[in-house]
Chains A and B, each alone.
Chain A
Amino acid sequence: MAVSSIAGVSDVAAANRPMRSRSPYPGWFFLPAAIIYSVLFLAPTFASLYFSLTRWTLFDSTFIGLDNFVQFFREPFLVQGLVNTVIYAVVTSSLKVVIGMLLAVMLTSQIMARGYLRSVIFFPVLVSTVGVGITFTVLMHPTAGAINQGLALIGIKGPGWLVDPKLALYSVALVDVWKGVGLATVIYIAGLVAIPRDYYEAARIDGATPLQNFFYVTLPLCRPATATVITLSFIGGLRTFDLIWAMTKGGPGFASDTVASVIYKQYQAGFYGLSTAGNVVLFILIAVLVVPLTMFLNRKQGHE
């Protein structure tokens, strides 16, 4: 599939050559990336599709048709996992968009201590997920954790962040935002910087207020950045796994399970065929949600 697409691209390049003798956009620019990507990613992925139809122990496999898919949909917590996955993706990506954009606007304005602010906001991006997970698990401990001890100082009895089944998913989502908002901010900063000053000049001459500036100039013109942040963080949210695994392992019980953690648990338990089938399901779920979303975001972009 990938190979044919590359061949197709070079055909087009060849066809274009006579007309535009020196295309500044040669098709072979795709080639090195496409080779590495197809050999090391696409090929194994296609191989694994076969195993989703088998009962696979890694050592041998028995063809069982679609039984894995039937079994996967019968997982007792799959439905809750699906709901959790969507909640998690929506909560984290929308918070990252909103907070990231506000922080970026703040950081490109004349605010004091800009260097300090930019550094501390970006700092969590630098720490490994495992490290963040360990740190916040400790900070969110219901009795000895620093968060609840801090809240106790001002007279609030803190909740069981990670041990209350109703709260655990949201607590992890908050930490995800904490860790990822710096990246969203940087993407937005790059997007804001690309907006030509003339627009603001024109708006200023028209007597626009800062709020109008934001809604009529900044917001529409940093749409590419918004599209990027939404795409990356929404897919990241749907696939999310390592932070949840580092903090709650899907618990307490099954309360913060997402589709990815359900899949990983099947994998850990040695149900390799089943977990591969789960991956196919997750891929379809993501594709169903993300492909229309990106088409929507990109079409808007095209209209500009």
Chain B
Amino acid sequence: MTKTKLIALMGASTLGLMLSASAVSAQQSGNLTFLIDNGPQSVAVAEAWVAAYTEQNPDVTIDIEVRPGGGEGDNIVKTRLATGAMADVFFYNSGSLFQAINPTQNLLPVTNEPWQAGIQESFKSVVSAGGEVYGTPFAPAMGGGIFYNRPIYEELGLEIPKTWDEFMANNEKIKAAGKTAVIQTYGETWTSQLFVLADFFNVLAAEPDFAEKFTANEAKFATSPAALRGFEKLQEVYEAGYLNADFGAATYPDGLRMVATGEGAHYPMLTFGIGAIAETLPDNLQDVGFFAQPGDSAESNGLTTWMPDSIYIAKTTANPDLAKAFVGFIGSPEGCDIRNEAVGATGPYMIEGCTLPDDVPPALADMLPYFQEGGQNAPALEFLSPVKGPALEQITVEVGSGIRPAADGAALYDEDVKKQAQQLGLAGW
């Protein structure tokens, strides 16, 4: 903690220097294209970065191109890389999806660029291939857990649950008070995976070598009791009747609105939702808190974390120096400050010298202790293993809507990951 603060101070003091330095010595010219996804946060922050950078470098123009997110976006990125038509600088996932775009062949390594010195090793490890680093963080780190409505907790006198049983007991009280205990939004299928994915800290607590064994085709969701729990939890909240009436059709913005305004008490989600709440429901931002998805024992209570998405430079860029200068700008404390200004703070940064504002929203304040000393956290499975089945979100919708029992769902998912492993050419599949 103290170390972080120190670095933060250093960062703040050097900020003025760097500003003038980049304005004088690193004066660049030329044109870049910058491909991002169409999430409003991405667009807002990318526009802010481009505006700031082109103001300091008036001879530079940067065109932002927008693509859809999700699987459709993955296809665009892969197609454009495979056909040599990628934008100079682009935004994409880190971790298992990064490995699938053949980085050594398609991307420009940035291992020895000056700004990389300030980036945390844990992030570099999820954007590296063949001994080279390719990525620069686009956003702060995230946690996967449960947003809760603070006024409901106060009104009913509830405690933050440390075990799953406590969580279910809270749900029972909330339901008894005539409120929606758990919000689910299967209208947007990716949101249905959270109970399974965010349970991974608890899986690792029970089976520390699950990820390696899973990659080697030795551990399975269906046969590992700890891993199966995530699916069971999904089934339990459905069967107990805790869900909102329109859980099958509600969308992610609906879920955020419900937890922020007290239409529901709990919403399992990634912490980047804080940014969307700050944007659309600023008046309710103070009403939303956050806790890690509880496991079966109060002793091991920790957060499943997600590495941020990343910025990459395409190997085909016509202007590598300018691209590097721009990416270095994004990966600097100045870039973080611009992000804080544009979309607010949503989590701890992976860049040394980056600071969070003093008055962070309560949900973020609830999340930070997990990252600090004495707090416990573990990365999500997709950062420890390249194997992630594409049909998980459909399967979790089924389990979470009572169409399929948890054990069946887990077994089906084990079947689903096989293709991915074969496609990656992993041993043992």
Contact between chain A and chain B defined by CB under 8 Å: yes
Residues 133-168 of chain A: 1 if any B CB is under 8 Å from the residue's CB, otherwise 0?
000010011111100000000000000101111000
Q: How far is the CA of A267 from the CA of B102 in the complex (A)?
A: 17
A178 proximal to B (CB < 8 A): no
Q: How far is the CA of A58 from the CA of B100 in the complex (A)?
A: 10
Closest-CB distance, B80 to chain A (whole angstroms): 10
B120 proximal to A (CB < 8 A): no
* A252 contacts B403, C-beta separation under 8 Å: yes
- Between A140, A142, A164, A265, the greatest number of chain B beta carbons within 10 A of the residue's beta carbon is seen for A142
Q: Which residue of B lies closest to A268 (CB)?
A: B71
Complex contacts, B189 vs chain A, CB 8 Å: 249, 251
* A265 contacts B105, C-beta separation under 8 Å: no
Q: Which residue of A lies closest to B97 (CB)?
A: A270
B227 proximal to A (CB < 8 A): no
Residues 86-107 of chain B: 1 if any A CB is under 8 Å from the residue's CB, otherwise 0?
0000000000000011100110
A223 proximal to B (CB < 8 A): no
Complex contacts, A55 vs chain B, CB 8 Å: 422-423, 425
B426 proximal to A (CB < 8 A): no
Partner-contacting stretch, out of B42-50, B152-160, B204-212, B245-253:
B245-253
* A271 contacts B423, C-beta separation under 8 Å: yes
* B397 contacts A253, C-beta separation under 8 Å: yes
Known: A59-B82, A268-B74. A250 touches B423 (CB 8 A): no
* A253 contacts B246, C-beta separation under 8 Å: no
Complex contacts, A57 vs chain B, CB 8 Å: 100, 102, 423
A170 proximal to B (CB < 8 A): no
* A76 contacts B412, C-beta separation under 8 Å: yes
* A160 contacts B248, C-beta separation under 8 Å: yes
- Between B72, B189, B394, the greatest number of chain A beta carbons within 10 A of the residue's beta carbon is seen for B394
Name B100's contact: one of A145, A253, A270 (CB within 8 Å): A270
Residues 232-251 of chain B: 1 if any A CB is under 8 Å from the residue's CB, otherwise 0?
00000000000001101100
Closest-CB distance, B39 to chain A (whole angstroms): 17
Complex contacts, A142 vs chain B, CB 8 Å: 245-246, 248-249
Complex contacts, B82 vs chain A, CB 8 Å: 58-59
Closest-CB distance, A287 to chain B (whole angstroms): 26
* A163 contacts B75, C-beta separation under 8 Å: no
Q: Which residue of B lies closest to A62 (CB)?
A: B425
Complex contacts, A112 vs chain B, CB 8 Å: none
Name A268's contact: one of B101, B390, B419, B420 (CB within 8 Å): B390
Q: How far is the CA of A269 from the CA of B187 in the complex (A)?
A: 20
* A141 contacts B249, C-beta separation under 8 Å: yes
Name B419's contact: one of A60, A71, A137, A164 (CB within 8 Å): A71
Residues 48-63 of chain A: 1 if any B CB is under 8 Å from the residue's CB, otherwise 0?
0000000101111010
Known: A57-B423, A142-B248. A253 touches B398 (CB 8 A): yes
Complex contacts, B422 vs chain A, CB 8 Å: 55
A-B complex: 8 closest residue pairs judged by Cβ atoms: A163-B248, A268-B71, A269-B390, A253-B398, A58-B82, A59-B102, A143-B246, A141-B249
Q: Interface on A for B, CB 8 Å cutoff?
A: 55, 57-60, 62, 71, 76, 137, 140-145, 160, 162-165, 249-255, 265-271, 274
Q: Interface on B for A, CB 8 Å cutoff?
A: 70-72, 74-75, 78-79, 81-82, 100-102, 105-106, 186-187, 189, 245-246, 248-249, 390-391, 394-395, 397-398, 401, 403-404, 412, 415-416, 419-420, 422-423, 425
Task: Contacts A62-B425, A253-B403, A270-B78 known; list 14 others, CB within 8 Å.
Answer: A57-B423, A142-B245, A160-B249, A249-B189, A251-B397, A252-B398, A252-B403, A253-B397, A253-B404, A254-B391, A265-B71, A268-B74, A268-B75, A271-B390
